[in-house]
Amino acid sequence: MFWGNHTGQPMPYRGWNVVVGERRNNTKTQFAASIKRLLKWLQEYTSVDTVTLLLPVSDQQHLAVYATLGLEEEIRQQIRIPIGQGIAGRIAENMLPMIIDDVSAVEVYSPILRQKGLRSLVGIPIPINEQSIGVLHVGTFDSHYFNERDVQQLQLIAHRLKLMIGDADVLQIECDRHHNVGKLISYINIIHREFLLNLSALRKQILKLKNVVKTFYNSSIQRYIYVFSFMRSQVD
C-alpha cells in the first residue's frame, strides 16, 4: 500500500490516493482483504485504537458493521444501527462529519462502544450512491482531540472506499448477507414460539396429572380410613 499520484479525487484532495494493490477487487474475498489492509493502514497511520466501516443493509434504514479493528463484537453480535440514532446513525442522516471529544457525554446506540471504553471519536459519511450512505469512524480509548485535518484524512480514505465498494458490488453482498441473517433469526423466533407453546401445553398436562394423582391419593386415604373404621367397629 502506498500513496499514489492520481487525479480522480474530489477537488480538495486531488493528486492523492490510497492504492491497495494493482488488481481490481472482483471477489468478496479480495474486497475483504483489501478493506482489512486499508483499515489496518489507517489505524497505524492515525495512531487510533478503533477503525470501523459501516454499510447500509437491505432496508436502507439501518447500518451494519462491515469491517472493524477494535470493535469486532459489533460484527459478532450483528448490531444494526438505525439511521438517525447513535453516532453512526446521525452521521449518515445528517451527511456531515462528527467529532466527539467525550463519547460518554453523547447518545450511543451500540452498547459495545461503552463496554470497550471508547473515549474519543471522529466519523464521516460515505455517499456510496444516491440512496446508500455508509459511515467510517475512528476512535481512541484515551482522551484525544480530533480536528478538521483528521476529517480531511478520513474523507480521502472514504473516497477510495467508495470506489472499491462500487467495483466489488459489496453493497449487494452485504444486503444479501443481512437478508439471510434476518431469515435465520425469523426461523429461530418461530422455533422459540413453538417451543414455548409446547412447554405451556406440557405444563398443563403435568398439572392435570398432578390433580389426578392428588384426587386418587385422597380417595385412597378416605377408603383406608373407612375400612379401618369398619373393621374396628366389628372388633368392638
| CATH number reported for the structural domain that contains residue 42 in this entry | 3.30.450.40
* Residue 83 located in a structural domain: yes
Is the pTM for the entire model greater than 0.75? no
Beta bridge partners of 137: 52, 123
Q: How far apart are CA 64 and CA 86, in angstroms?
A: 12
* Residue 224 located in a structural domain: no
Q: Above 60 in pLDDT, residue 15?
A: no
Domain membership of residue 66 as a residue range? 2-168
* Residue 221 located in a structural domain: no
Count of alpha carbons within 13 angstroms of residue 179, beta-carbon side:
9
* Residue 181 located in a structural domain: no
Name the percent of the chain in helix, strand, coil, to the closest 5.
55, 20, 25
Give the lowest-confidence range in 5-19, 57-71, 170-184.
Answer: 5-19
Q: Above 70 in pLDDT, residue 4?
A: no
* Residue 64 located in a structural domain: yes
pLDDT band at 203 (very low <50, low <70, confident <90, very high): confident
* Residue 87 located in a structural domain: yes
Q: How far apart are CA 74 and CA 68, in angstroms?
A: 9
* Residue 147 located in a structural domain: yes
* Residue 150 located in a structural domain: yes
Q: How far apart are CA 147 and CA 167, in angstroms?
A: 31
Give the number of domains in the chain.
1
**Each residue's pLDDT tens digit, 85-132:** 999 999 999 999 999 999 999 999 999 999 999 999 999 999 887 777
Question: Distance of CA 155 to CAs 80, 95, 161, 162, Å?
Answer: 23, 12, 10, 10
Q: Above 70 in pLDDT, residue 224?
A: no
User: 18 — phi, psi (to 5°)?
Assistant: -95, 120
